[in-house]
Structure 1
Amino acid sequence: MTQASAFGRKLGRFLHLKDAPPSLITSSLRGVELAVTETRDDNPVPGLSGSFTAEDAFVVSLKLHDYPDCELWENGKCVMKADVPAGATYLYDLKRDPRYVIDKPFHSLFFYLPRSALDALTEQPRMPRVGQLACELGVGHDDTVVRHIGASLQQALRRPDETNQLFIDHMMLALTAHVAQAYGGLRPCTEPNRGGLAPWQVKRVCERLESDLGGKLSLQEIAAEFDLSISHFSRAFRISTGLPPHQWLLRQRVKAAKQLMTVRDLSLSEIAISAGFANQSHFTRVFSSVVGVSPGTWRREAQGAPESKK
């Protein structure tokens, strides 16, 4: 089991949770795995948190609940107390054994970010590596980007069956790049835009995505077919199609659903599964968001008659 795959269980032990919290895993950076986990305990058993195994990795934490007068520990010593406000972002270096006293309800998102993931962002020749992240104990950051990504992934954590892997990869790649730039001194790429994919590449990618409407393919798998980095592939795909891969895939699901809804004998639940949605509820939410009306309404209007089977 990889470090990222085990992160939820380690975090559960760290926070003395009864059960391992849910996690989403991505390996979108040259095989380097990252994870995001949501933790919550409204009635914790008071005491000092556990310890993570020391490793060259970082944890980015988005606090979803106020935690006043938090007693913070580092390298086995109590170093300070600080108020932790909801909505703030904190960074922790796992080499320093960050810990804190658990004595009140907590609710947070934790992103596991190994150093190798940051290094993977700087693969171009002569591009400097990401420096030390600004992991200042007790110092929170008002980070709107982390809040936005966190809110999106929080929904994915609560509905994992409805979340395609391309979306997880996309959001975690965005988080990694943001953290590297905002807290590690990485400068945004200034190289000339290399444009989109070649027509034959676009054709092949679209065929691959259409063959997997359920969204099990990862960005790493697709980019590797063209020997491209994840970031370059994602950028080039968006230039060529106008959408990032996960949004393009959602549009294809809707397109497939529309074709299937011309068949009167298929129920909406059957259409949902056939078009790659997790269930009818998922299908209805996405279709309504993209098209502007519910699937049932669209179908009745398209057929020009009352829907015979729901």
Structure 2
Amino acid sequence: MTRTGAYGERFGEFLRLEQAPPSLLSRSLRGTEIAVTETRNHHPVPGLSGSFALEDAYLVSLKLRDYPACEIWEQGRHLKKTDVHAGTTYLYDLKADPRYVIDKPFHSLHFYVPHSALDSLADQSGARRIDALDCRPVGHDDAIVRHIGASLREGLRRPDEANQLFTDHMMLALIAHVAQAYGGFRQTAETGRGALAPWQLARACDKLEADLGGKLPLQAIAAELGLSASHFSRAFRASTGLPPYRWLLHHRVRTAKRLMSAHGVSLSEIAISAGFANQSHFTRVFSAITGVSPGAWRRDALGATSREG
């Protein structure tokens, strides 16, 4: 059986990597798999890359290293030779069997975007479906893809710290941007309006609070409210000022503060209880949100309690 889905292990086979490269997966658009994979090799074996299964899907590739004189192939024929520069974005149509000659070190992020994800986005927005993305072999100076890529690289480096809500949020943003920038997608005016009803917000917050680890997909929370993931994400932000994954981080910090107000519990125990992957993760997030380290905050809080006593 032919395996589809150009991400993870299949990308390793495509580039003849010794190990499967790191990837993150989202199913926030009607269960359709959207993924990002980071590939790099400082000492590649020269030769033409492998092939992916032909499918109605695209790769959006953010180049993180210069690749001079890149030989690009499509449909079994040499297409062009071009200098690829770090920071540029290329789009590839997987129906055209894109390949390239591997003959120098490389480093890239690759977003796997099935056409069905673009269809789901259009259907949920009440907009016209996209016929195809613009996959001409030219490099795009795309600041939004660079920003999303930089955010997801943190998750790729520390997968145990990348909660699913964060991955889903970033993938939805990537799909919406790619659809608009390279497919001519236009959202209807009503799409971005409206907050959650009070009962919806209460139920959403209950679900988030019950899953401090952030393992619950965005789609699962949205489905409880009868909404699409993209609609729920926009409405939740309109209601709270924060996207769901950021709201969860702030709630973890509030939980940690409550736990730190008691004596005798270590910071490592508090980190796990508040939904963080480890104490290091806890310290980075807490410091970024509050401006002080957990230890400093705890000393001040306990000191204030002692003085009041």
How big is the shift at 1:163? Answer: 1.0
Kindly report which structure 2 residues correspond to 1:105-124, keeping only aligned pairs within 5 A, or say none.
105-124=105-124
CA distance in 2, matches of 1:256, 1:56: 45
Kindly report which structure 2 residues correspond to 1:156-305, keeping only aligned pairs within 5 A, or say none.
156-191=155-190, 193-304=192-303
How many pairs does the alignment contain?
Answer: 305
What are structure 2's unaligned runs of at least 5 residues?
none
How big is the shift at 1:161? Answer: 0.6
Alignment CA distance shift 1:180-1:63 (3 Å): same
CA distance in 2, matches of 1:51, 1:2: 11
How big is the shift at 1:256? Answer: 0.2
How big is the shift at 1:10? Answer: 1.2
What are structure 1's unaligned runs of at least 5 residues?
none
CA distance in 2, matches of 1:168, 1:86: 24
CA contact (8 A) 1:131 1:185 kept: no
Alignment CA distance shift 1:2-1:27 (3 Å): farther
Aligned equivalent of 2:103: 103
Alignment root-mean-square deviation, CA: 1.7
CA distance in 1, matches of 2:4, 2:134: 22
CA distances 1:109-148 after superposition (whole Å, capped 9, x unpaired): 00000000000011158621013111012x0000000000
CA distance in 1, matches of 2:147, 2:191: 28
* Aligned partner letter, 2:243: P
Kindly report which structure 2 residues correspond to 1:38-77, keeping only aligned pairs within 5 A, or say none.
38-77=38-77
How big is the shift at 1:242? Answer: 1.0
TM-score by length of 2: 0.95
CA contact (8 A) 2:73 2:79 kept: yes
Aligned equivalent of 1:129: 129
How big is the shift at 1:30? Answer: 1.1
CA distance in 2, matches of 1:182, 1:100: 25
CA distances 1:127-186 after superposition (whole Å, capped 9, x unpaired): 21013111012x000000000000000110000111110000000000000000000000
SS at match of 1:50: coil
CA distance in 2, matches of 1:126, 1:41: 43
Alignment CA distance shift 1:106-1:125 (3 Å): closer
SS at match of 2:8: helix
SS at match of 1:7: coil
CA distance in 2, matches of 1:192, 1:180: 15
CA distance in 2, matches of 1:274, 1:124: 37
CA distance in 1, matches of 2:83, 2:156: 27
* Aligned partner letter, 1:42: H
How big is the shift at 1:187? Answer: 1.0
CA distances 1:55-101 after superposition (whole Å, capped 9, x unpaired): 00000000000000011111001121000000000000000000010
CA contact (8 A) 1:46 1:103 kept: yes
CA distance in 2, matches of 1:229, 1:122: 12
CA distance in 1, matches of 2:186, 2:176: 10
| More displaced 10-residue stretch of structure 1: 99-108 or 184-193 | 184-193
| More displaced 10-residue stretch of structure 1: 128-137 or 25-34 | 128-137
* Aligned partner letter, 1:87: G
CA contact (8 A) 1:64 1:86 kept: yes
TM-score by length of 1: 0.95
SS at match of 2:108: strand
CA distance in 1, matches of 2:212, 2:126: 39
SS at match of 1:37: strand
How big is the shift at 1:194? Answer: 4.1
* Aligned partner letter, 1:219: L
Residue 94 of structure 2 is aligned to residue 94 of structure 1: yes
CA contact (8 A) 1:56 1:94 kept: yes
Alignment CA distance shift 1:192-1:30 (3 Å): closer
CA distance in 2, matches of 1:142, 1:198: 40
